[in-house]
Chains A and B, each alone.
Chain A
């Protein structure tokens, strides 16, 4: 952006000769599969940003943006790869919002997006494995890496004077990545992990898994799972057999569903999830409501931000070519510049077209660090008297 300050009005005029085009953006999310309940609100979030930009008529001389949806299935890497392949080669998309789950994202990025040089911004893939991936500068994410969450979780547990915990994780890239990063952080802080065992989702009964965790012992149980899947099953079985009564819940578990399932049975437990707080989020929720969907759905705001980042970067690069605009993503997302909230994409485009700088804050307080992932503010929550309450932000 700094260099852009030097760009003159003449520069803008030259870019203007490029002419308007119809830019296609792919949305590759798990519309079927284990997270199918989250995908629709995420897709709508991304489409909302695209519509906003199209309506403003300010992107690359009034170019329009149209979404192309693809089903990444979340669980099936081969299907996700095929979907992204179709989006890129058949539909000719200029960028992709996706994938949804970490394993599938790695596969489609490595096999298709990277060879074709297409930018992917994932709203929800949080595995630490994605941080170190050689991505040619093509991959970004608007959600924080679980390595960061593991650190935050270890800090929170330590602050409660709990020094030994058992860990169970859902048997996939997300669960394993989070559990491992947590174990590393927790042990570095002087705590001990008695057991770090997987559980499979979709079982009827988790008493066997809980028996193993109970045998290993520990003062609390960290459940790195999904609230509408095995995670709740594990908590249920642990409560029923009296194996554990204090639980630590990472982002996949923290939600109203948890309180609905367990009420006051989990009093004294605590957890954390990525917290988008403040003005940006409130504005986004309102925008979503006007557009007729629920913006508070998990990762919906992140999807909006992913699409907005791609489009603003295109404006800054004065080109919809991924090879050009990928260089601009970090500049748009971070300071300095005028702060941009959801619903102000038109204003942002005006500033960019006028040669100014923007700092995209968006719905989730976007701030990209490292290889292009959200720094992540976490909200610490506790459970008392059957209610979930926010304790603070870390």
Chain B
């Protein structure tokens, strides 16, 4: 029983939250890595692109709710997602035409594009706040739990409860579907192959008749979709607040770099590595330890780092990877 209790406490406080968070980071990191692989710069505006997409989705959700549309047990925001994606895609294509294209044609150094993206980040920051304000918005509706603590305790008779939120399941399922669709697109379709060719060697791709502008457009549209989906899932699972989407940029970059920038598989692995380290390092293991070793009465909470230092974990991972394995776990392009 005690081992079961320990397992349930671990699942409830570490595994489930980290898995959902990891899926959200992975989707974000995929967008970053895609832009890096094909357009060859680190897009600092990605976090705020996520915020913008989510804001539009929330507005559309409210519209749908006002019309009485709902998805039953699932959040209405899923229906509103296409609106968010369309608006975000339009937005990033517009910024590409207005900002990045100029530097791309001039073949500017990547660092200049990075700095331009910082400017875009601040602009999007402002637009999102104008659109929906700075306050926290909760827009998850439908059934909140797949299993809640009370039911679980009654069902199993265990001391520890397990809660599984609808949004957590949804996050992981949607992330899996999106990743599958993305890999299918990149590996099987002509456009996907064109994108990979462009990523491998720009000039060679040009010679074989690939239209670079088309590849760029496609990349932006995919990145915008990934950003919006990641943002909406994050907002559904936690809460939407524009500032948080700026903060999440750091773990997302850490994930992309850990996996190897430019490598989609690495982005996914990186997302989970960062999420699990953040949660596991800041989790106090006292409760689990008490079940596993009943005789042991440790001092303190068996917590490696206070929860205030959550973001420091991403920093440390980032620095360690850049020092010892700059190309990341999955051999991305070196940075």
With CB as the reference atom, state the residue of chain B lying closest to A194. B301
Which stretch from A62-70, A136-144, A201-209, A354-362 is at the chain B interface?
A: A201-209
Contact of A209 among B136, B243, B248, B307 (CB under 8 A): B307
* Interface set, chain A 186-221, CB cutoff 8 A to B: 195, 197-200, 202-205, 207-209, 211-212, 214-217
With CB as the reference atom, state the residue of chain B lying closest to A205. B238
Residues on A with C-beta less than 8 A from B279 are: 208
Contact of A240 with B241 at beta-carbon distance under 8 Å, contacts A208-B307, A211-B13 already known:
no
Number of interface residues of A (CB under 8 A): 24
Residues on B with C-beta less than 8 A from A195 are: 301
Contact of A204 with B301 at beta-carbon distance under 8 Å, contacts A212-B307, A216-B284, A241-B13 already known:
no
- A214 adjacent to B241 (CB under 8 Å): no
- B161 adjacent to A202 (CB under 8 Å): no
- B301 adjacent to A208 (CB under 8 Å): no
Q: Does any Cβ of B come within 8 Å of A30's Cβ?
A: no
Task: Compute how far the CA of A195 lies from the CA of B161 in the bound complex, rounded to whole angstroms.
Answer: 21
Residues on A with C-beta less than 8 A from B13 are: 207, 211, 214, 241
Contact of A211 with B284 at beta-carbon distance under 8 Å, contacts A240-B163, A240-B165 already known:
yes
Contact of A202 with B286 at beta-carbon distance under 8 Å, contacts A212-B303, A212-B307, A214-B13 already known:
no
Q: Does any Cβ of B come within 8 Å of A392's Cβ?
A: no
Residues on A with C-beta less than 8 A from B17 are: 205, 207-208
* Interface set, chain A 4-51, CB cutoff 8 A to B: none
Residues on A with C-beta less than 8 A from B282 are: 208, 212
- B303 adjacent to A204 (CB under 8 Å): no
Most A CB within 10 A of own CB, among B13, B21, B248: B13
A interface list, Cβ under 8 A from B: 171, 195, 197-200, 202-205, 207-209, 211-212, 214-217, 228, 233, 240-242
B interface list, Cβ under 8 A from A: 12-14, 17, 21, 136, 144-145, 148-150, 153, 161, 163, 165, 234, 237-239, 241, 243-244, 248, 278-279, 282-287, 301-303, 306-308, 310
Given contacts A215-B301, A242-B12, 15 further A-B contacts (CB under 8 A): A204-B238, A204-B248, A205-B239, A207-B13, A207-B17, A208-B17, A208-B283, A211-B14, A211-B307, A212-B307, A214-B13, A215-B302, A216-B286, A241-B13, A242-B153
